[in-house]
Amino acid sequence: MRKVAVVGIGHGKFGVRSDASLRELAFEAVKACLDDAGIPLKEVDSMVTGIAGDEFALGLQPSAQVHDYIGFHPKPNFRVEGACATGSIALRTGIMNVASGLADVVLVVGVEKMTEVPTSIATEIMGKAGDSIWEYPFGTTFPGYYALIANAHMAEYGTTEEQLAMVSVKNHYYGSLNPYAHMQKKITLEKALTSFTVAYPLKLYDCSLITDGAAAVIIASEERAKVISKKPVWIVGAGLATDTLRLGDRKSLTSILAAREAAKTAYKMAGVGPSDIDVATVHDCFTIAEIVAYEDLGFCEKGEGGKLIAAKETYVGGRIPVNVDGGLKSKGHPIGATGVSMAIEITKQLRGEAGERQVKNPEIGLAHNVGGTGQVVAVHIFRRE
């Protein structure tokens, strides 16, 4: 397999973007990404677009809108989807293109315009990313699925609502320092704990946001990366794993087994372990998901995730800083863009360009992106030279 590096990053402003359409959002990120890489679009061989929902885009083949709008004809574009892991699956597809030699330089774009539909419809669309036939008839929603996981985790390990809220306080704190974040607002523990219940025990501040936004990266082969970038960030580990569609068929409700599997593959490929990771972005679509991610990625023992956040070990300066870009919680979660945005944050951190949120001199970073209720998980490991 050929080596692959990130050579360009471009992040659009996340938020309720009533000023822009899907394709216009994507353009912002692509333009920023080309500027960062310092190459014209014609030097890109191929493109991968991650858009999770035709339902949000209100039509089939939404990636063609993006491909057309940036004027990438006649070169190829692949659209991928995997619910909330769409962005990381797009990245993986890009890596496959470069690693195989099919392309030398690939543009990976993730974008979603979620607020095109009202919250109740968005909730329905996402709820059906569980099993639309066997779970959805019970009114399941995404907060609902993760609430099922939260109650199981709380019953088994004594994880508390306060510990969940602490994840939110941390991620809002870092989101307040991230100019691209949807919600740049610090919050108190009390505010999180007294917010209204969305799906018991998860409250408003336990939930990620419904967000519009786009993110793009350019990845390249070793030969091209060395020419394009002074600070290439190498993708040294890539794991993708899957589990059952229905929560009820899972072997565990307190762990996302696909995440454990994907992490195992990525760690092995990179030749590193959890203690080697200097900075991570994990899939905090709900606060409980971040706590479960700490455990699944090996940042702490099973059941100790609540204690890890309570000890502030996942802040900058702690044992393993996590989601210091604000995470899905405060940066926002435009489904298709999220995985790409995670890769951007890790690249920034490894380049030393994260400003106020910078972790001290990191060498190895990890991104963990969960799709569905844990049906598909991608883990990537990045390393600077």
Partner 1 sequence: MDFKNFSLNISQTKVNRFVDELSAGKFMATVCKKCGKNYYPPLADCSNCMQSDMEWKQISGEGTLVTFTKIHVPPEHFAVRQPLMPFSSIQFEPCPIGLLEVEGGLKIMGWIPKGDVKKIKVGMKMKASPFTLPDGKVTIILEPI
Ligand X SMILES: CC(C)(COP(=O)(O)OP(=O)(O)OC[C@H]1O[C@@H](n2cnc3c(N)ncnc32)[C@H](O)[C@@H]1OP(=O)(O)O)[C@@H](O)C(=O)NCCC(=O)NCCS
> From CA 95, how far away is CA 108, in angstroms rounded?
9
**333 classed as catalytic:** yes
Distance CA 269, CA 203 (A): 38
205 contacts which partner out of ligand X, partner 1, none, CB within 5 to 8 A by kind? ligand X
50 binds, among partner 1, ligand X, none (CB under 5 to 8 A by kind): none
Active site residue 84: yes
- Burial of 160-192, coded b for 16+ CB within 10 Å and e otherwise, reads ebebbbbbbbbbbbbbbbbebbbbbeebeeebb
Choose between 67 and 368: whose C-beta lies nearer to ligand X: 368
Instruction: Confirm or reject binding of residue 181 to ligand X (CB under 6 A).
Output: no
Selected from 4, 29, 84, 272, the binder of ligand X by CB under 6 A is 84
From the list 119, 132, 194, 361, which residue makes contact with ligand X (rule: CB under 6 A)?
Answer: 119
The Cα-based distances of 379 to 74, 89, 230, 240, 297 in angstroms read 32, 10, 25, 6, 9
Does 148 participate in binding partner 1 (rule CB under 8 A)?
yes
Number of residues that bind ligand X (CB under 6 A): 15
Does residue number 142 form part of the binding site for ligand X (CB under 6 A)? yes
Q: Nearer Cβ to partner 1, position 118 or 355? A: 118
Three-state SS for 223? helix
**Nearest in space to 63 (alpha carbons), one of 332, 335, 336, 328:** 336
Minimum CB distance to partner 1 smaller for 34 or for 83: 83
Catalytic position from the list 67, 333, 368, 380: 333
- DSSP three-state, residue 212: strand
Between 51 and 288, whose beta carbon lies closer to partner 1?
Answer: 288
Which member of 84, 207, 285, 300 is catalytic? Answer: 84
Long-range (24+ apart) CB contacts under 8 A made by 222-228 are 222/2, 222/3, 222/4, 222/5, 223/104, 224/7, 224/104, 224/105, 225/3, 225/4, 225/5, 225/7, 228/7, 228/8, 228/37, 228/38, 228/39, 228/43, 228/105
Of 268-327, binders to ligand X (CB under 6 A) are 285
Residue 149 near partner 1 by CB under 8 A: yes
Give the footprint of partner 1 on this chain (CB under 8 A). Answer: 118-121, 123-124, 127-128, 132-141, 143-144, 147-152, 155-156, 196-201, 246-249, 253
Give the footprint of ligand X on this chain (CB under 6 A). Answer: 84, 119, 123, 126, 142-143, 198, 204-205, 207-210, 285, 333
The residues annotated with a catalytic role in the active site are 84, 333
